[in-house]
């Protein structure tokens, strides 16, 4: 996921949870759309347990290197876990706003399935329906995150593979990648993320190729 701190729900069992992120991306994507190259960004996200639901939100800013305009993302949403026909589902509804060369607001309705037969033994599957009236598109994303794999001979270092698939009115994309995370520090969490993106009919221009992200998270 691009803009990691913004678009990852920071779920906390109770109370308030806050996380800050500083990262550099060779390409900055949101759902297959390229918002910037050489993107150095900073952001914060958090969550609060309301009892009946988990409220989450975040902001993310990317000053355009060599330009005068910044890119800003923000999100507000609610998440709730429930059981449906034996399936454990983490549901969410959220509103995201993107302030860039083209401003837009979109609404997402999502569900993560944590106990799918067979699949949940090694991965978590998520589905999100998106609607963006400003860019006049709607569609679905499918996120498959594999279980973390410990890197041999190096303590606190893990590898997490993932796949993100998107199908929208105007474009389609496929993203295949892995993130490497180091958990040896108490509050700082450095990471490296590498993925390959293949997109078709993107309104921002088709994109194909590798992207690298390096950053650090700080938990309050």
* SS3 assignment, position 101: coil
pLDDT value of residue 186: 86
DSSP H helical ranges for the chain: 4-7
pTM: 0.88
pLDDT value of residue 206: 60
Contact 156, 182 (CB under 8 A): yes
| β partners of residue 44 | 20, 59
Write out the chain's pLDDT in tens, 220 residues: 344 445 544 444 457 899 999 999 999 999 988 888 888 999 999 999 999 999 999 999 997 655 557 899 999 999 999 998 889 999 999 999 999 878 999 999 999 998 999 898 999 999 999 999 898 889 999 999 999 999 999 999 999 999 999 999 988 999 999 999 999 998 899 999 999 999 887 766 667 899 999 999 998 7
pLDDT value of residue 10: 41
Contact 98, 35 (CB under 8 A): yes
Question: What total of structural domains would you count in the chain?
Answer: 1
pLDDT value of residue 66: 52
Tokens of 3: 């803009």
Contact 162, 170 (CB under 8 A): no
What is the domain-level CATH number for residue 139? 2.40.160.40
pLDDT value of residue 205: 63
Residue range of the domain that includes 184: 4-219
The angle formed by the CA atoms of residues 114, 18 and 184, to the nearest 5 degrees, is 75
Rg (CA), the chain: 17
pLDDT value of residue 200: 85
């Amino acid at each position: 996921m691009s803009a990691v701190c913004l678009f990852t729900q920071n779920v906390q069992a109770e109370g308030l949870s806050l996380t800050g992120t500083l990262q550099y991306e060779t390409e900055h994507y949101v759902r297959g759309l390229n918002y910037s190259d050489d993107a150095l960004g900073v952001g914060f996200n958090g969550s609060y347990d309301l009892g009946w639901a988990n409220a989450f939100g975040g902001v993310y800013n990317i000053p355009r290197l060599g330009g005068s305009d910044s890119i800003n993302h923000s999100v507000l949403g609610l998440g709730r876990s429930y059981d449906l026909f034996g399936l454990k589902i983490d549901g969410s509804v959220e509103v995201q706003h993107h302030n860039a060369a083209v401003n837009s607001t979109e609404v997402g309705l999502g569900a993560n399935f944590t106990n799918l037969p067979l699949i949940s033994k090694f991965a978590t599957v998520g589905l999100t329906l998106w609607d963006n009236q400003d860019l006049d598109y709607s569609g679905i994303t499918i996120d498959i995150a594999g279980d973390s794999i410990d890197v041999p001979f190096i303590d606190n270092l893990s590898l997490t593979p993932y796949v993100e698939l998107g199908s929208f009115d105007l474009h389609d994309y496929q993203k295949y990648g892995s993130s490497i995370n180091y958990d040896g520090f108490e509050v700082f969490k450095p990471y490296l993320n590498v993925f390959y993106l293949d997109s078709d009919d993107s309104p921002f221009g088709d994109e194909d190729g590798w992207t690298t992200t390096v950053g650090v998270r700080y938990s309050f």
